[in-house]
Structure 1
Amino acid sequence: MVKRADAPDAVRAEAAGLRWLADSATVRVPLVHGDDPRWLVTELVATGRPTTHSAHRFGRDLAALHASGAPEFGAPPPGGPVDAYIGLAPMRNIPGDNWPRWYAEQRVLPYLRTAVDGGVVLPAESADVERVCERLPELAGPAEPPARLHGDLWHGNVVWGREGTAWLIDPAAHGGHRETDLAMLSLFGCPFLDGVLDGYRAAAPLADGWEERVGLHQLFPLLVHAVLFGRGFAEQAVAVARTALAR
């Protein structure tokens, strides 16, 4: 597989992320054959179909990936740039040791400001998202250690191989909260999602109330999509924020 990226450090970020995920010896990721500032060459995955069994196995492997850890929240992969990307959108990897504060300052608020400046999120709506950020210490659930995240784990970045095994592609890898990857999987749907979650929880049980926190972890990708694709995603982000405030 040969990919070209013109954005500064985009190839470097993706190559470093793939290698970091591979170093965990957990989930399957394409081997990086080579990279330079514009071109990335990786192993080509022959595709197949998922099964209930392979979904359960993917959940277990994803739990093991997260457990392999990261130095801090927001830590970039070794050799990866601070100024990275989530899809086509900029994403800064500035490390922090407190997840609620880091998530607010380094993920939610920067994209909220961009969405407001672009007229996609209204000022009154922005105030609700800001209130969620203020309340994150109480809404975030029990403290978790930094997990090694794929970082952009929507179903399009999960490729089911010919033997049914899940392969992860196009990472926005960094240290984060493990519930974030799971929330991203559920945002746009994933084949056999219940099986994935069952496998994950069998290997690494989630803290009580995790289902109520899914929206919190979806807030960042929804704001990213609002900036890229418009008002519909902004409305979803605001709805998620207001649901959190009602808890």
Structure 2
Amino acid sequence: MGEEQPAVFRKGSRSAPAGYFRWEAAGLAWLADAPGGAAVVEVLAVGDQHIDLAKLSFANPDPATAEAFGAALARTHDAGAPAFGSPPEGWVGDGFLGPATQLLPLRLSPDESWGSFYAEQRLLPMLATASDRGLFHRHDRVVFERVARRLHDGEFDDGSAPARIHGDLWSGNIAWTPSGAVLIDPAAHGGHRETDLAMLALFGCPHWDFVVGGYLTQHRLDAQWHERVALHQLHPLLVHAVLFGADYPHRALELARRYR
């Protein structure tokens, strides 16, 4: 008898931009290639308008599962990347971020400095988009621009090497299964490891303290990392401001004022 084939979950969209599903597949493969890293959903096939993934079953996470995930996520990050802003292996050019119906461009241009990468490829482009949509007044934009200037000058660089990050790691992009946590829907690229952790903290993560505890068993973070969490949250908050409005512009501005 032949080997049983996994059940298939198909994601498809006729309106997705060219290459979108191949971008997702490249990111999943790159994350899955990290030795001892977090589990990643299996890609079964990919086409211009769809991607076929192994269908997952779900379970409620417990502290032990969360701790194991944190340790595995640290090993994924430790697998590294060529540079800040480098795309996943097998992909050339910019990527995408956001829901399939409202995709935003994700700039990917290798940079040796995290600060300049974050300022020039994350904060300032998203600030420009938000401003074009009338979400911020001029005096508000100045606050973000001051933060970007400090970033560009390297004031927040901590010497960390580029990490292999998921790039959109809110809790909805972790599938908690009976065998553990599985990563889905990445915007994978070379970035700062704290970006993934800050994203998890921003929108809530089951058993967060155990995730962090597991992470620290594999990779120690410096004593100031908690002080930078809100800095890493500025970009996802600006993205949510552009996509959903609501209170996100105000939340982003309040955080930016901490670092101006």
Aligned residues: 244
Map 1:138-153; keep pairs closer than 5 Å: 139-153=155-169
5+ residue gaps, structure 2: 1-8
State whether structure 2 residue 250 is matched by structure 1 residue 242.
no
1 or 2, which has the higher helix percentage? 1
Q: 1:133: how far off?
A: 1.0
Q: 1:202: how far off?
A: 1.9
> Does the residue aligned with 2:57 lie in a helix, a strand or coil?
coil
Match of 2:25 in 1: 15
Instruction: Give the aligned CA root-mean-square deviation in angstroms.
Output: 1.2
Match of 1:221 in 2: 236
Matched to 1:157, the amino acid is N
Conserved? CA contact 1:9–1:37, under 8 Å: yes
State whether structure 2 residue 126 is matched by structure 1 residue 125.
no
The TM-score normalised by the length of structure 2 is 0.91
**Whole-Å Cα distance in 2 between the matches of residues 9 and 140 of structure 1?**
34
**Whole-Å Cα distance in 1 between the matches of residues 137 and 218 of structure 2?**
42
Conserved? CA contact 1:139–1:213, under 8 Å: no
Q: 1:135: how far off?
A: 1.3
Map 1:1-247; keep pairs closer than 5 Å: 1-5=9-13, 6-25=16-35, 26-87=37-98, 88-136=103-151, 137=153, 139-163=155-179, 165-245=180-260
Q: 1:134: how far off?
A: 1.0
Conserved? CA contact 1:141–1:209, under 8 Å: no
CA deviations on 1:190-213 (whole Å, 9 max, x unpaired) are: 000110011111211111211110
**Whole-Å Cα distance in 1 between the matches of residues 75 and 34 of structure 2?**
8
> Does the residue aligned with 2:83 lie in a helix, a strand or coil?
coil
CA deviations on 1:48-95 (whole Å, 9 max, x unpaired) are: 111101111111000000000000111111122422111232212111
**Whole-Å Cα distance in 1 between the matches of residues 45 and 203 of structure 2?**
31
* Identical columns (%): 46
Q: 1:115: how far off?
A: 0.6
CA deviations on 1:103-160 (whole Å, 9 max, x unpaired) are: 1000110000111111012211110011011112454252110000000000000110
CA deviations on 1:18-65 (whole Å, 9 max, x unpaired) are: 000111131111111110111100111111111101111111000000
Matched to 2:58, the amino acid is T
**Whole-Å Cα distance in 1 between the matches of residues 17 and 209 of structure 2?**
36
5+ residue gaps, structure 1: none
> Does the residue aligned with 2:95 lie in a helix, a strand or coil?
strand
> Does the residue aligned with 1:42 lie in a helix, a strand or coil?
strand
Highest Rg: 1 or 2? 2
The TM-score normalised by the length of structure 1 is 0.95
